[in-house]
């Protein structure tokens, strides 16, 4: 599967959001105005291209906050910090005091979320191992053949062309060459361990369902759109072993 990364522009914007978020933490009595956070609900549906791009920017930024599991109340403080900073209003709290605490705050939230996700992933893997036709490898990957292939099987050093559809345990799609309408080509040495092992068990022309344990996917750190310690599900169709 292809790597999921943030573009340099998005990383820069995310840094701005983090700085704004530090301004939004509740502070002792401020005389700089109301502490009520403005709601994004006042914005209508985007009509112009610029409005649609700005809406997309908000969605992109949200991917970096999702793992923190913010409540609606907590998100309101983030929104207030961002709007105050962007619009040039006085900050409710001091950035130099609360800014250095952002990383620790996020790390604690991510660690807590990853711990809870690991419990859910473990239960999901046990459930999937009991599905008819499923086979569990020694490493913990659960493989279920969907269509038998008739060609050769790749080895770890091969480059392959595949179509795949990746979802979280709840069915949320996070990456899909099928949805993009274009197969992916990559070396088996350059993907997550679940793929390196699992794709070698598929013959060309075949399709299998791989359920990947967290330690053979992205582990505790996760990726944008993929929680830490998430079990991942892939439907993989092996189209070709690419000759180098």
CA atoms lying within 13 Å on the CB side of residue 125: 23
Predicted pLDDT of residue 124? 98
174 is catalytic: yes
The single residue of 105, 158, 192, 215 carrying the catalytic annotation is 192
Residues 157 and 237 in one domain: yes
Q: Is the pLDDT of residue 7 over 60?
A: no
Residues 137 and 77 in one domain: no
Identify whether 101 is part of a domain. no
Rounded to an integer, what distance in angstroms lies between the CA atom of residue 80 and that of residue 192?
Answer: 39
What confidence tier does 173 reach under pLDDT thresholds 50, 70, 90? very high
Nearest to 21 by CA among 87, 89, 105: 105
Residues 89 and 156 in one domain: no
- Measure the CA dihedral 4/56/172/201, to 10°: -30
Residues 160 and 82 in one domain: no
More confident position, 13 or 5: 13
Rounded to an integer, what distance in angstroms lies between the CA atom of residue 182 and that of residue 27?
Answer: 51
Q: Is the pLDDT of residue 37 over 70?
A: no
Residues 168 and 217 in one domain: yes
Predicted pLDDT of residue 1? 53
Identify whether 193 is part of a domain. yes
Residues 88 and 139 in one domain: no
Neighbouring CB atoms inside 10 A of 160's CB total: 23
Ranking 1-10, 69-78, 169-178 by mean pLDDT, the lowest is 1-10
Identify whether 57 is part of a domain. yes
Burial class (CB in 10 A: 0-12, 13-18, 19+), 185: middle
What confidence tier does 42 reach under pLDDT thresholds 50, 70, 90? low
Provide, for the chain, the percentages of residues in helix, strand and coil under a 3-state DSSP scheme, each rounded to the nearest 5.
45, 20, 35
Q: Is the pLDDT of residue 62 over 60?
A: yes
DSSP 8-class letter at 212:
E
Ranking 13-27, 75-89, 165-179 by mean pLDDT, the lowest is 13-27
The single residue of 142, 174, 202, 226 carrying the catalytic annotation is 174
What confidence tier does 18 reach under pLDDT thresholds 50, 70, 90? very low
Predicted pLDDT of residue 225? 82
Identify whether 225 is part of a domain. yes
What confidence tier does 33 reach under pLDDT thresholds 50, 70, 90? very low
More confident position, 68 or 33: 68
Residues 148 and 66 in one domain: no
Rounded to an integer, what distance in angstroms lies between the CA atom of residue 210 and that of residue 166?
Answer: 9
124 is catalytic: no
Would you say how long the chain is, in residues?
A: 244
The single residue of 124, 164, 202, 226 carrying the catalytic annotation is 164
Rounded to an integer, what distance in angstroms lies between the CA atom of residue 214 and that of residue 226?
Answer: 11
Residue range 188-224, pLDDT digits in tens: 999 999 999 999 999 999 999 999 999 999 999 888 7
Predicted pLDDT of residue 110? 85
Residues 78 and 22 in one domain: yes
The single residue of 143, 175, 202, 241 carrying the catalytic annotation is 175
Among 62, 93, 124, the domain boundary falls at: 93
Among 93, 117, 145, the domain boundary falls at: 93
**What is the gyration radius of the CA atoms in the chain, in angstroms?**
22
Q: Is the pLDDT of residue 4 over 90?
A: no
The tally of domains found in the chain comes to 2
Residues 72 and 169 in one domain: no
Identify whether 121 is part of a domain. no
Identify whether 77 is part of a domain. yes
98 is catalytic: no
Range of the domain at 229: 133-242
Q: Is the pLDDT of residue 169 over 50?
A: yes
Among 93, 114, 146, the domain boundary falls at: 93
Residue range 111-129, pLDDT digits in tens: 888 899 999 999 999 999 9
Q: Is the pLDDT of residue 229 over 60?
A: yes
Asked if residues 25 and 79 have their Cβ atoms less than 8 Å apart, the reply is no
Q: Is the pLDDT of residue 9 over 80?
A: no
192 is catalytic: yes
Rounded to an integer, what distance in angstroms lies between the CA atom of residue 194 and that of residue 68?
Answer: 26
Residues 137 and 202 in one domain: yes
Asked if residues 81 and 20 have their Cβ atoms less than 8 Å apart, the reply is yes
The single residue of 77, 98, 124, 234 carrying the catalytic annotation is 234
Identify whether 212 is part of a domain. yes
Identify whether 194 is part of a domain. yes
% residues pLDDT > 90 (the chain): 67
The single residue of 124, 218, 226, 241 carrying the catalytic annotation is 218
CATH code for the domain in which residue 215 is found: 3.10.50.40
């Amino acid at each position: 599967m292809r790597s999921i990364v943030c573009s340099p522009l998005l990383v820069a914007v995310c840094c701005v959001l983090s700085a704004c978020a530090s301004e939004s933490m509740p502070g002792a009595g401020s005389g700089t105005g109301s502490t009520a956070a403005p709601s994004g609900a006042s914005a209508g549906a985007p009509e112009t291209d610029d409005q649609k791009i700005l809406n997309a920017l908000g969605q992109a930024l949200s991917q970096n906050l999702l793992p923190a599991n913010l409540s609606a109340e907590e998100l309101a403080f983030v929104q207030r910090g961002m709007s105050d900073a962007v619009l040039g209003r006085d900050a409710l709290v001091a950035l130099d005091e609360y800014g250095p605490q952002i990383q620790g705050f996020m790390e604690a939230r991510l660690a807590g979320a990853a711990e809870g996700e690991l419990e859910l992933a473990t239960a999901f893997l046990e459930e999937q191992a009991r599905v008819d036709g499923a086979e569990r490898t020694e490493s913990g990957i659960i493989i279920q053949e969907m269509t038998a292939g008739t060609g050769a099987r790749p080895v770890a050093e091969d480059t392959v062309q595949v179509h795949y559809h990746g979802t979280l345990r709840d069915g949320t799609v996070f990456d899909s060459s099928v949805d993009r309408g274009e197969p992916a080509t990559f070396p088996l040495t350059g993907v997550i361990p679940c793929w390196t092992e699992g794709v070698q068990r598929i013959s060309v022309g075949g399709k299998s369902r791989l359920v990947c344990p967290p330690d053979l996917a992205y582990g505790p750190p996760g990726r944008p759109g993929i929680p830490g310690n998430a079990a991942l599900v892939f439907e993989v169709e092996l189209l070709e072993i690419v000759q180098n």
